[in-house]
A and B are shown apart, each in its own frame.
Chain A
Amino acid sequence: MSVESSHTAAPAQPSPATAHVKAGLARRYAAEKRFRLYGIIAIGASLAFLAMLLISIVSKGLPAFSQTFIQLDVPLDIDTLDIDAETAEAVQEGSLPASELRRANYNGAIREALRERFPDVSGRSDRRALYKLVSTGAQYDLARIVMDDPSLLGQRQTLWLPTDDEIGALVKRGADLTQADTLSTRLDDKSIAWAADLDANNEFDVRFNTTFFKNGDSREPELAGIRAALVGSAYTLLITFLLSFPVAVASAIYLEEFAPQNRWTDLVEVNINNLAAVPSIVFGLLGLAVFINFFHLPRSAPVVGGIVLSLMTLPTIIISSRAALKSVPPSIREAARGLGASELQVVFHHVLPLAMPGILTGTIIGLAQALGETAPLLMIGMVAFIVDIPQGITDSATVLPVQVYLWADSPERAFTEKTSAAIMVLLAFLIVMNAVAVMLRKRFERRW
């Protein structure tokens, strides 16, 4: 009462407590401002790093999405192709399958076309350099064209064929080929002069690189593609999801809703938490010992990769699922029980749907981790050179991050852009996965 009266009596004279608060006020506001500033700086710094990373990857990777083609007038007569006349006729009439033409000398036809284009080039080493303008993969393209349409035999065809990686890179960059001295390349001046001549006559064309999405790995940068790794990653993640999701959600539900609290469940819980912190290579060793050496599952197959990665993602999903189940308010359970629902109905009809958004978030985090993992796959043989696109979960396969690693380690310089492009595909895969999760979450989300 006396305090109050003194206030009313002399308002100009603040109490010592108020004075103390007022004196500190400016300092406290300043502290808050500083903290906000730190926050903004932290966010700015992380955004800047992210932007730097993305800009460097995208700027390096973009050229990989285009490919340089060279226009050649290819003679497809049976002498150049080294096919005997009977076979050619039989294939054209349809009495023999087109695959009979597979062994023809397509490379010879391409070389002939190059020699005709540059008739002045003579001497062995010069000719070898000349042949190197065209990709070694061009012969397979030509073979496909001829086998698709055997009536082309005996004609001349003007075709666009892929160039070799080095010359392709120069043309893609839009480098001035007439200034050979200023270019940083391994190519000799003669090759650059030929390229400049071709360029002046518009015999180069830069197109979208469909090869990159159609092919498996290759040792020729211009033929290397991401398809095998992409399919491998998809199969592996499918297995991982199918194994880890049901098991993890079931364990989480049991531990959270049904299990008694005793020493055993405590032990299980501690072990799950520990498992989440085990380095992933350990799971790879386990996979090698158990699934490959004991169960004799095939090496390098997505099925083993998926099993190993699901072991790795299990704890992540269990922990986040338990947290999601825990966050469902007890009133929901009590209301359901009050209406006569059995324990199973309480969980599956009421608690689980409400916890689903959280569970899905945890699952996506776990799967994203699995998508980026290479170490455990090394042990089970998925760090491999895969040309053929895997057709099933037991075929040999590799995954996207492994493809990034393999390309980053290749001596040919054109693989640098492939590496960045593969990273972009990996990121796109991740974004699609996240988008699906967000969509599912939106559908399931319920507020109370």
Chain B
Amino acid sequence: MHKTPLLVATAIAAATLSGPGFARDTISIVGSSTVYPFATVVAERFGKTTDFATPKIESTGSGGGLKLFCSGIGVDTPDITNSSRRIKASEVEMCTENGVNNVVEVLIGYDGIAIANSTEAEPMSLTREELFLALAKDVPTPDGDGLVPNPYKMWSEINPELPAFSIEVLGPPPTSGTRDAFVELVMEEGCASFEVIEALDEDAKDAACLTMREDGRFVEAGENDNLIVQKLEANPDAVGIFGYSFLDQNSDKVQSSFIDGVLADFDTIADGSYPVSRPLYFYVKGEHVGTVPGIAEYLAEFTSEGAFGEEGYLSEKGMIPLGEDERAEVAAAATELKTLELN
């Protein structure tokens, strides 16, 4: 009677210590939370339509995913990592150091970042310059002779044609990939048009371009994009920054703003005219193909027309597909498992 728990505990300890060397028959995928909603759809279909087990997908963020991915070869490292940006040279180096030499890159599509407000208000029409002026910590004075702490309280103070709403922008926190992309695609581009910032040295320029204002007009609303949508619905004067798929799913509640005159929608992101969009990738460990069953088939499923094509099921989930030629190229490269070369 008293010995039972002890016996069970010993059995478990024995079972766990015999761990090393077990084989794995499930594909292990890690990486970006932006790619997660798309990769999971593919994984689910893959599991249901083939004899392979459904791949396991962890949402670790692009950087975290690549770190795990490049940590070595073997069944306890992931086979595939999703990324909402291209792999960096430093990460390729880390991979090589740990013996991961055969990395296959697959570009799957684009994700737009929506700048939106409630459908109860008029759609905003903003330029990236105006967004920079509304959101940066320090902005150039109107005569351009120096930087001052952001004085703008109303949109109409930046440009008289904008509505006389007080500035309130809800956006993702610095840990989010969406925030990185927003800063890169909007803030950096926006600040590049000011001579006084261009004249600064590299560090000061970065500080001026990349720092968001902290006086409560830019609100970090947390990683959860649903929350931003809810807050926009409750406050028609507020503007939110979030992933395009959330705009698509909530099109009865929120509407896209015109950025540099272009609305975020399927076509404008696909043809590149909407400026705030980023490519989505995943990386495959070539060494694992053949060791872990199903990797080549998963690649084939992901790069099939039915999945990432113009009318594939990924586009229904809000991913913006590549152009037709690009898709053919990617699919061919994925089939022959072409090793990545950074240029």
A300 within 8 A of B: yes
- Whether the pair B226, A303 counts as a contact (CB closer than 8 A) is no
B-facing mask of A150-186, CB < 8 A → 1, else 0? 0000000000000000000000000000000000111
- Whether the pair A239, B12 counts as a contact (CB closer than 8 A) is yes
A297-B19, A411-B37 given; A383·B224 CB < 8 A: no
A394-B22, A411-B248 given; A385·B28 CB < 8 A: no
* Nearest CB on B from A371, distance (A): 19
How long is the Cα–Cα vector from A348 to B1 in the complex, in angstroms? Answer: 13
* Nearest CB on A from B154, distance (A): 30
How long is the Cα–Cα vector from A140 to B21 in the complex, in angstroms? Answer: 35
- Whether the pair A387, B54 counts as a contact (CB closer than 8 A) is yes
- Whether the pair A409, B43 counts as a contact (CB closer than 8 A) is no
A-facing mask of B240-270, CB < 8 A → 1, else 0? 0001011011111100000000000000000
- Whether the pair A385, B22 counts as a contact (CB closer than 8 A) is no
How long is the Cα–Cα vector from A334 to B282 in the complex, in angstroms? Answer: 70
Contacts of A406 in B (CB 8 A): 59
- Whether the pair A295, B56 counts as a contact (CB closer than 8 A) is no
Q: Which residue of B lies closest to A397 (CB)?
A: B56
Main secondary structure of the interface of A (DSSP, over half): loop
- Whether the pair B58, A298 counts as a contact (CB closer than 8 A) is no
A-facing mask of B53-91, CB < 8 A → 1, else 0? 110111110000000000000001000000000000000
Q: What range describes how many residues of A lie at the interface?
A: 35 or more
B-facing mask of A286-306, CB < 8 A → 1, else 0? 000000100111111001000
Which stretch, B2-10, B161-169, B208-216, touches the partner chain A?
A: B2-10
What number of residue pairs across chains A and B have CB atoms under 8 A from each other? 114
Contact partner of A411 (CB less than 8 A), chosen from B47, B60, B249, is: B249
Contacts of B9 in A (CB 8 A): 242-243, 246
- Whether the pair B19, A307 counts as a contact (CB closer than 8 A) is no
Contacts of B318 in A (CB 8 A): 411
Contacts of B33 in A (CB 8 A): 409
How long is the Cα–Cα vector from A289 to B229 in the complex, in angstroms? Answer: 38
How long is the Cα–Cα vector from A425 to B9 in the complex, in angstroms? Answer: 28
A326 within 8 A of B: no
B198 within 8 A of A: no
How long is the Cα–Cα vector from A381 to B68 in the complex, in angstroms? Answer: 11
B41 within 8 A of A: yes
A396-B56, A411-B249 given; A295·B226 CB < 8 A: no
Give chain B interface residues in 262-307, CB to chain A under 8 Å. Answer: none
Q: What range describes how many residues of B lie at the interface?
A: 35 or more
- Whether the pair A307, B16 counts as a contact (CB closer than 8 A) is yes
A411-B226, A411-B249 given; A299·B12 CB < 8 A: no
How long is the Cα–Cα vector from A130 to B200 in the complex, in angstroms? Answer: 58
B interface with A by C-beta (< 8 Å): 2, 5-6, 8-9, 12, 15-17, 19-22, 24, 26, 28, 30, 33, 36-37, 40-41, 43-44, 47-49, 53-54, 56-60, 76, 223-226, 243, 245-246, 248-253, 311, 313, 317-318
* Nearest CB on A from B130, distance (A): 28
What are 5 A-B interface contacts by the 8 Å CB criterion? A242-B9, A246-B5, A299-B76, A383-B60, A411-B226
* Nearest CB on B from A304, distance (A): 8
How long is the Cα–Cα vector from A348 to B245 in the complex, in angstroms? Answer: 61
Contacts of B2 in A (CB 8 A): 348
Give chain A interface residues in 405-420, CB to chain B under 8 Å. Answer: 406, 408-413, 416
Q: Which residue of A lies closest to B13 (CB)?
A: A243
- Whether the pair A186, B251 counts as a contact (CB closer than 8 A) is yes
A239-B12, A242-B5, A298-B76 given; A409·B250 CB < 8 A: no
* Nearest CB on B from A281, distance (A): 14
A218 within 8 A of B: yes
Contacts of A7 in B (CB 8 A): none
* Nearest CB on A from B8, distance (A): 5
A190 within 8 A of B: no
- Whether the pair A243, B12 counts as a contact (CB closer than 8 A) is yes
